[in-house]
Structure 1
Amino acid sequence: MTHLNTGGTEVGATAPALSEPRTAASAPYASEPRVVAARAEMVARLEEAGDLHPGPVRDALLALPRETLMPHAYVRRSAPDEPPRWELLDWSRSDHREELLVLLHSGDGVSIQHEGEPILGRVPDVRSGGAMTAMSSSMGMTANLLQRLDLRRGQRVLDIGTGAGVTAAVACFICGHGGVVTLDIDRHVSEAARARLMALGYQPAVVTGDGLAGWPGPTPYDRIFVSFAVPRIPPALVAQLAPGGRALMTLGTSSPSWPGLAVITRTPTGVVEAGLVAVEFGHRGGAGFDRLFLSAAFRNRITSSEGGRTRRSRLEPPTDTDRGMWLALDHLRPGLVRDFSAEDLTIGAPRCGSWVRARRVGYRRWEVTTIGPRDMWAEIHDVAARWRAAGSPHTYRLEIGDDGVQRVASRCGALSWALTDASHTGTGATGELDPLLEKGDSHAC
């Protein structure tokens, strides 16, 4: 979800714990065989992909009527390179229900708000232009993170970035909602989530405010979950973490291509320990996070090699699974965006117009085409050499100093960088920025 600096208001209250969602009058379709089957099939796919394992998170997802939390959702009716046109599907309409059933249980992210609009009481219609401003993240990433969070009965949980309320519902199912707080910057999102969680029989504290400041409710919290990317760890959230507690959040730059997962714990004696794990998928940045994109025109120039310089190289580029290297590249050589839809290794720097494309043409032979002031092929191999010299780390130490300084470092300290408040934008002349993240440009959700 998004985040801005605003005052906070509470729109919900706590109530006695309730472990099972109510599904009779409030969710009349939840027990229909096709709805139950859709949930079971989604869970089975998550298990097959390795994103979900037997345990309380699996039990929660099997029991959760997603159509109650997301009775309205948007589908894009325009092609990726066309101006966006969105249609709002409504579960109460029989002609929408089948498509919405598939969408909600596909495992993909689900868009629920357009341009900050009120969510309750909307009329299904087509929206043109603009952007989606609230969503439910992809279920594979969500399930994996919720399992890493290790939710347990009776814990106090702060869920930041309420979205559709899926994380809050799972926390209520597992922990009991008496200690669950879910916070969002948008009051429309908070109001809708509160109403829909109540329809399931859950009454966590649903509040509106700045997620970076946390919430002074039943602190300290045993678990803190942030569902938008941050450029550095918010000190307020560290301060609100209980001894024995754990916090998870995506840490990234302006590039959506190579996220890191920050795992912060506080020992029983009160010592804060943290690590940064290179991951394939991460949450998108919220409002104010300067995100970079590769426009359709930019990608077309790369495809046509317009103005590019081509040479042969025997240097082998790092593999996609060398995520620790790509994470380091993102921070040490900022401003790069990977086109994951391209057949060949393709990376652009939209701020200055530089790009590189590397194509295998034989054993240890690569055809490398570049353009622009940045030699990204050299940048990649420079960071890769430093990464290998540091032991090819996949996980880094995350140092959070009392003086506000935050640094990421390999265990031996040979590879490190500082975190700043501003997301990186790279250097060079002004480049092209897409108003929307286009499918295939990113591994962010």
Structure 2
Amino acid sequence: MGADAPGAELEDIAAAARTRLVHEIEASGALCAEPAWREAFAAVPRHLFVPYYYVGVPGGYERRWGEHPDPAARERWIRGAYDDTPLATRMRDGELLSSSSQPSLMAAMLAELRVEAGDRVLEIGAGTGYNAALLAHRLGDDAVTTVDIDPEITESARRHLHAAGFRPAVVTGDGARGVPERAPYDRIIATCALPSIPGALLAQCRPGGRILMPFATGVVGLAVRDAGCAGGRFLAIPAFFVPLRGEGVPQREPPRLAGLPRRARESDLFRFLLALTRDSVDPDEAHALWEREGMPPRDRYGLTVAGGRAWAWLDDPDGPYVWPLPDVRVPPGLSRGGR
């Protein structure tokens, strides 16, 4: 790049990088189930949603941003914006508060959301606004609502969306309560890790709808039968998201690994089982089960909600391996229906 790259040249770099990203997403297999999302990833400019981000370097983080006075640094920023990696976008005292998820993981989740023309979608966790833009490109602005508890996040997401030409509803509020004033929804997707299944989301999703949410280092797809009943399996892929923030969200300690065999301690699949059963199964018992069942992958597990109760299971919701989860409660002031 020359001494100073004009905006047109940066846009050319972005277009080439976006094409490369789409090819990488396709190569990952994330679009196999729903190739229609290819057009959205090819059209939506991710760099407009990450005007700055942080990358890990020895001793901390390096901030990359689009207004850097050095043209070579601006090029690193725009190329990095199209890497198939998660990007840290908001830090506070070394704690990650918000990020732009790995695009191939986003594509896999959007494909598993199984949207159809005319669907209305609620997104829990606005982040940068990039995921809402992909949804709005596919379904239209009026069909998409995104919510986040942090007003700084919603304001920046709204600004990014407008810069990219999108106008979905961006709401500041507790994601665990949903957005009842815009319900009902045909699909609900969370882009932050939930510690339990919020009853408000079941109440705001139409019967026959689908909820996709990160849970215990995985992503579960729940088919909604009615306001009190839903169930489904986890996707095979791992997923590590910033946890949901809001009133009453519990802070969890990491599960105990001391004393367990090295193979278990270093296994992502075993740590997933520990996270899923942490309230009901001792780690030693979980290890014995894990070995006995042949180190099961994530897609052998699932979640079920019925009658105000929720439970996780291995292979079969009525089988021998069933573990209770926190009860499902609808917050005060929320009805079981939506308008």
Asked if TM exceeds 0.5, the reply is yes
Aligned to 2:76: 99
Structure 2 residue corresponding to 1:45, chosen from 24, 34, 41? 24
Matched residue SS, 1:273: strand
Greater shift, 174-183 or 28-37, is seen at 28-37
Once the two structures are superposed, what CA deviation does each residue of 1:328-357 show, in whole Å capped at 9, x if it has no partner?
344346799xxxxxxxxxxxxxxxxxxxxx
Q: How does 1:25-424 map to 2 (within 5 A)?
A: 32-53=11-32, 55-77=35-57, 79=58, 82=59, 84=60, 86-93=61-68, 94-115=71-92, 129-252=93-216, 259-267=217-225, 272-277=229-234, 279-284=236-241, 285-287=243-245, 288=249, 290=251, 292=253, 323=269, 327-332=272-277, 379=285, 381-384=287-290, 387=293, 394-402=299-307, 404-409=308-313, 410-411=315-316, 412-420=318-326
Shift of 1:55: 2.4
Once the two structures are superposed, what CA deviation does each residue of 1:13-34 show, in whole Å capped at 9, x if it has no partner?
xxxxxxxxxxxxxxx6598332
Q: Name the CA shift for 1:165/1:30 in 2 (closer, same or farther; >3 Å).
A: farther
**Structure 1 or 2: larger helix share?**
2
State the distance in 2 between where 1:228 and 1:415 align: 27
State the distance in 1 between where 2:38 and 2:87 align: 19
Shift of 1:320: 5.9
The amino acid that maps onto 2:176 is: L
State the distance in 2 between where 1:39 and 1:67 align: 9
The amino acid that maps onto 2:322 is: S
Once the two structures are superposed, what CA deviation does each residue of 1:45-81 show, in whole Å capped at 9, x if it has no partner?
111121223622111000111111111112234x2xx
State the distance in 2 between where 1:261 and 1:170 align: 19
State the distance in 2 between where 1:264 and 1:62 align: 28
Q: Name the CA shift for 1:271/1:44 in 2 (closer, same or farther; >3 Å).
A: same
Q: Name the CA shift for 1:145/1:310 in 2 (closer, same or farther; >3 Å).
A: closer
Q: Name the CA shift for 1:278/1:38 in 2 (closer, same or farther; >3 Å).
A: closer
Q: Does the 8 A contact of 1:333 with 1:379 survive in 2?
A: no
Query: Which one has more relative contact order, counting CA pairs under 8 Å at least 6 apart?
Result: 1
TM-score, normalised via structure 2 length: 0.79
Shift of 1:95: 4.0
Structure showing greater radius of gyration is 1
Aligned to 1:442: none
State the distance in 1 between where 2:189 and 2:298 align: 25
Q: Name the CA shift for 1:47/1:208 in 2 (closer, same or farther; >3 Å).
A: same
Q: Name the CA shift for 1:202/1:309 in 2 (closer, same or farther; >3 Å).
A: closer
Shift of 1:293: 6.1
Once the two structures are superposed, what CA deviation does each residue of 1:244-293 show, in whole Å capped at 9, x if it has no partner?
311100112xxxxxx232212234x8783312316442242234553556
Aligned residues: 312
TM-score, normalised via structure 1 length: 0.62
Q: Does the 8 A contact of 1:157 with 1:224 survive in 2?
A: yes
Once the two structures are superposed, what CA deviation does each residue of 1:172-210 show, in whole Å capped at 9, x if it has no partner?
000001121111111011011111111222111111000
Matched residue SS, 1:249: strand
Q: Name the CA shift for 1:37/1:383 in 2 (closer, same or farther; >3 Å).
A: same
Shift of 1:405: 1.7
Identity over aligned pairs, percent: 30
Matched residue SS, 2:83: coil
State the distance in 2 between where 1:168 and 1:225 align: 10
State the distance in 2 between where 1:176 and 1:107 align: 25
State the distance in 2 between where 1:218 and 1:186 align: 19
Shift of 1:398: 2.3
Q: Name the CA shift for 1:200/1:30 in 2 (closer, same or farther; >3 Å).
A: farther
The amino acid that maps onto 2:234 is: V
The amino acid that maps onto 1:420 is: P
Q: Does the 8 A contact of 2:112 with 2:221 survive in 1?
A: no
Q: Name the CA shift for 1:332/1:52 in 2 (closer, same or farther; >3 Å).
A: same
State the distance in 2 between where 1:394 and 1:213 align: 28
Return 5+ residue gaps in structure 2 as ranges: 1-6, 329-339
Q: Does the 8 A contact of 2:125 with 2:175 survive in 1?
A: yes
Shift of 1:326: 5.6
State the distance in 2 between where 1:87 and 1:385 align: 42
State the distance in 2 between where 1:234 and 1:40 align: 38
Matched residue SS, 1:96: helix
State the distance in 2 between where 1:188 and 1:95 align: 29
